[in-house]
């Protein structure tokens, strides 16, 4: 137990140092641009947490980021590198909007129906990559990435074609029925009832890794050989893992449609897919870590907007900080793997025959 605690502390400390470094480099950039980093960062901080409205906005950002990061973490734990969050989000959003716009049923039915449609569509979109991996041994990094483009092109076609709002020339669909929009919780603030879904999913995620399915996903992440040996049906579990991953991401798409956008429009996924991927990695694929990283990134984005408005510092500083964090996360993974590799090598040498192929 002690060693577990120790390694957790070490892990957290490493992450904190990493973030501090990224912020430090950001500060240097602010100085170079001729501004005060203290002012920039304090504006950022106030922009993220300074008022009730700011905090509501923080949660608005947090909802899709967390849901998608959880979805991504499910796949990543199985070493299935699902880079296709953007595409799965898009497909989920399209399905949700299609149900809302074209199936004339009372909103009491349309709401759950559109949710199911979004979740299922995104799950299958993700499962496609899993199936391609099983059937043709296609690398899921490539397939999920390519499916992003297909989803995006499909979206562009729809919002400029069959689903385009007849009232405008913009690349967007008509508004969903008012009765389907998620209730705003505090007056005019944008925070909507989708947060409860996020909270429920968060609680579930804490239990998820203790379920049979969670164990199986984890075991596949340990290696296909050992998972097969342990009696896990690797192919089936791969597809199911991708489905779950896509389902959570599709759920985020559904929430975004009925909570914020009320319609589909080109580029609806924004950069949520990328941010959620970083959040999942930064959070070490564990629910606590993902929550912490999610709040950090939501704050960075909300605060960054404020900073851009209130000071002369451009938002691109935030982009740089995000980029640096990506690099640090990757570097950390490589460093860890290297030290692990070295340690094994050393063991092998020292133990003589301790390791025999």
Please report, as ranges, the residues that interact with another protein according to CB under 8 A: 1-4, 207, 210-216, 218-219, 222-223, 225-226, 228-233, 344, 346, 349-357
Count how many residues are written for the chain.
357
Of the two residues 8 and 36, which places its CB atom closer to another protein in the complex?
Answer: 8
Let me know if 52 is exposed, middle or buried by CB neighbors in 10 A (0-12, 13-18, 19+). exposed
Shortest distance (Å) from residue 245 CB to another protein: 19
CA pair distance 183, 181, nearest whole angstrom: 6
Of the two residues 153 and 230, which places its CB atom closer to another protein in the complex?
Answer: 230
Shortest distance (Å) from residue 287 CB to another protein: 16
Among residues 43, 77, 3, the alpha carbon closest in space to that of 287 is found at 77
Shortest distance (Å) from residue 207 CB to another protein: 7
Of the two residues 79 and 311, which places its CB atom closer to another protein in the complex?
Answer: 79
CA pair distance 315, 135, nearest whole angstrom: 44
Shortest distance (Å) from residue 122 CB to another protein: 23
Cβ proximity of 214 and 56 under 8 Å: no
Neighbours of 148 (CB within 10 A): 22
Shortest distance (Å) from residue 226 CB to another protein: 5
Sequence-distant (6+) residues with CB within 8 A of 129 are: 82, 84, 138, 140, 143, 144, 147, 242
Sequence-distant (6+) residues with CB within 8 A of 339 are: none
Helix (H, G, I), strand (E, B) or coil at 184: strand
Of the two residues 139 and 222, which places its CB atom closer to another protein in the complex?
Answer: 222
Helix (H, G, I), strand (E, B) or coil at 265: strand
Of the two residues 186 and 206, which places its CB atom closer to another protein in the complex?
Answer: 206
CA pair distance 237, 89, nearest whole angstrom: 22
Of the two residues 169 and 357, which places its CB atom closer to another protein in the complex?
Answer: 357
How far, in Å, are 153, 230, 262, 272 from residue 126 at the CA level?
17, 26, 24, 17
Shortest distance (Å) from residue 176 CB to another protein: 35
Of the two residues 2 and 188, which places its CB atom closer to another protein in the complex?
Answer: 2
Shortest distance (Å) from residue 15 CB to another protein: 19
Among residues 278, 122, 287, the alpha carbon closest in space to that of 208 is found at 287
Shortest distance (Å) from residue 219 CB to another protein: 6
Of the two residues 104 and 231, which places its CB atom closer to another protein in the complex?
Answer: 231
Shortest distance (Å) from residue 210 CB to another protein: 5
Of the two residues 166 and 225, which places its CB atom closer to another protein in the complex?
Answer: 225
Report the first-to-last Cα separation within the chain, whole angstroms.
32
Q: Which two tokens stand for residue 94?
A: 């399209």
How far, in Å, are 173, 224, 267 from residue 331 at the CA level?
42, 25, 30
């Amino acid at each position: 137990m002690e060693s577990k605690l120790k390694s957790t502390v070490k892990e957290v400390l490493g992450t904190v140092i990493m973030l501090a470094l990224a912020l430090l480099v950001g500060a240097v950039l602010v100085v170079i641009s001729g501004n005060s980093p203290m002012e920039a960062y304090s504006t950022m901080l106030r922009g993220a947490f300074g008022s009730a409205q700011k905090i509501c906005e923080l949660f608005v950002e947090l909802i899709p980021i967390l849901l998608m990061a959880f979805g991504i973490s499910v796949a990543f734990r199985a070493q299935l590198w699902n880079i296709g969050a953007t595409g799965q989000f898009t497909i989920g959003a399209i399905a949700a909007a299609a149900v809302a716009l074209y199936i004339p049923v009372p909103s009491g039915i349309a709401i759950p129906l559109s949710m199911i449609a979004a979740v299922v569509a995104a799950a299958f979109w993700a499962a496609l990559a899993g199936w391609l991996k099983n059937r043709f041994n296609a690398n899921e990094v490539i397939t999920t990435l390519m499916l992003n483009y297909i989803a995006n092109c499909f979206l562009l076609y729809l919002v400029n074609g069959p689903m385009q709002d007849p009232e405008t020339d913009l690349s967007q669909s008509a508004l969903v029925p008012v009765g389907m929009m998620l209730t705003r919780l505090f007056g005019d603030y944008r925070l909507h009832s989708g947060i409860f879904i996020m909270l429920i999913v968060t609680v579930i995620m804490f239990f998820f890794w203790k379920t049979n399915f969670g164990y199986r996903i984890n075991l596949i992440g340990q290696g296909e050989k050992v998972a097969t040996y342990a009696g896990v049906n690797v192919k089936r579990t791969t597809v199911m893992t991708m489905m779950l991953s896509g389902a959570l991401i599709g759920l985020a798409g559904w929430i975004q449609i009925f909570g914020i956008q009320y319609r589909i429009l080109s580029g609806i996924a924004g950069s949520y897919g990328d941010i959620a991927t970083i959040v999942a990695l930064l959070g070490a694929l564990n629910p606590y870590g993902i929550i912490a990283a999610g709040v950090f990134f939501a704050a960075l984005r909300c605060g960054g907007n404020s900073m851009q408005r209130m000071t002369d510092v451009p938002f691109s500083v935030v982009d740089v900080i995000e980029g640096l964090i990506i690099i640090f996360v990757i570097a950390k993974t490589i460093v860890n793997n290297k030290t692990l590799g070295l340690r094994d090598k050393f063991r092998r040498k020292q133990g003589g025959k301790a390791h025999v192929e």
